[in-house]
């Protein structure tokens, strides 16, 4: 029991889970009380992809960060459900095409037996599906609370440190999200500053 608490990987995992709860709490709160408008298509696909990735990870015994993914899985489902009523009405033709493509890719994934290839496909779907949120954030950066994404950067970083074994299977999803979220936060902050100068 003592070694459990002395293991720094456990500490990284606990902080990662705390950041997950904190980030999503802020995001959900702002859906109800501010102008935060989640993109339903994005959140539904993120939930679906996270569901499959979670089962892949626990099959590889990556328990150290699978708890972080499990928390993310539960909360993304709740946000997707909330987004049905609160979602942005800014849905474009490209968003719809992207949504159909993502569903097709996920259907293809179901028939793939190779775990590495299936994980790579899921990560690509996950990254690709940030497109609607990137597009909406570029157009309306003040409708997206970037604190969730900002807190998710160290969350994924700590989850990487919490891995018992760093392999492509265990770390690809974490590294990919770490990078894409950094770019998303940068975009939102940059666009807010640009639009603020235009208002002035």
pLDDT digits (tens, 9 = 90+) for 9-24: 777 778 877 888 888 8
- pLDDT for res 2: 42
For residue 158, what are the domain limits?
2-199
For the segment 2-55, what is each residue's pLDDT rounded down to a tens digit? Answer: 454 566 777 777 887 788 888 888 877 777 766 566 777 777 777 877 887 777
134: left (phi over 0), alpha (psi -120 to 50) or beta: alpha
pTM of the model: 0.74
pLDDT of residue 65: 58
More confident residue, 174 or 107: 174
Q: What is the pLDDT of residues 135-188, one digit of tens each?
A: 888 888 887 778 888 988 988 888 787 777 777 777 888 899 899 999 999 999
Count structural domains, the chain: 1
Percent of the chain with pLDDT over 70: 76
Residue 43's Cβ-count burial label (10 Å; 0-12, 13-18, 19+) is: buried
Residue 61 has pLDDT above 60, yes or no: no
Per-residue three-class SS string for the chain: CHHHHHCHHHHHHHHHHHHHHHHHHHHHHHHHHCCCCCCHHHHHHHHHHHHHHHHHHHHCCCHHHHHHHHHHHHHHHHHHHHHHHHCCCCCCHHHHHHHHHHHHHHHHHHCCCCHHHHHHHHHHHHHHCCHHHHHHHHHCHHHCCCHHHHHHHHHHHHHHHCCCCCCHHHHHHHHHHHHHHHHHHHHHHHHHHHHHHHHC
Q: In the predicted model, what is the mean pLDDT of residues 51-69? A: 68
């Amino acid at each position: 029991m003592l070694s459990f608490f002395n293991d720094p990987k456990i500490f990284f995992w606990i902080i990662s889970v705390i950041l997950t709860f904190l980030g999503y709490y802020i995001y959900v709160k702002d859906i109800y009380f501010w102008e935060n408008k989640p993109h339903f298509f994005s959140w539904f696909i993120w939930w679906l992809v996270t569901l499959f990735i979670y089962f892949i990870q626990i099959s590889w015994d990556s328990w150290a960060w699978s708890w972080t993914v499990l928390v993310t899985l539960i909360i993304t489902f709740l946000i997707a459900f909330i987004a049905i009523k609160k979602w942005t009405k800014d849905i474009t033709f490209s968003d719809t095409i992207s949504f159909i493509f993502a569903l097709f890719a996920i259907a293809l994934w179901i028939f793939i037996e190779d775990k590495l290839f299936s994980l790579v496909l899921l990560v690509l779907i996950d990254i690709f599906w940030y497109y609607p949120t990137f597009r909406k954030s570029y157009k309306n950066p003040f409708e997206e609370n970037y604190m969730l994404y900002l807190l998710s950067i160290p969350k994924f970083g700590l989850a990487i440190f919490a891995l018992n074994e760093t392999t492509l299977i265990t770390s690809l999803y974490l590294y990919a999200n770490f990078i894409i979220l950094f770019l998303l936060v940068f975009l939102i902050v940059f666009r807010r500053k640009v639009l603020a100068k235009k208002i002035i």
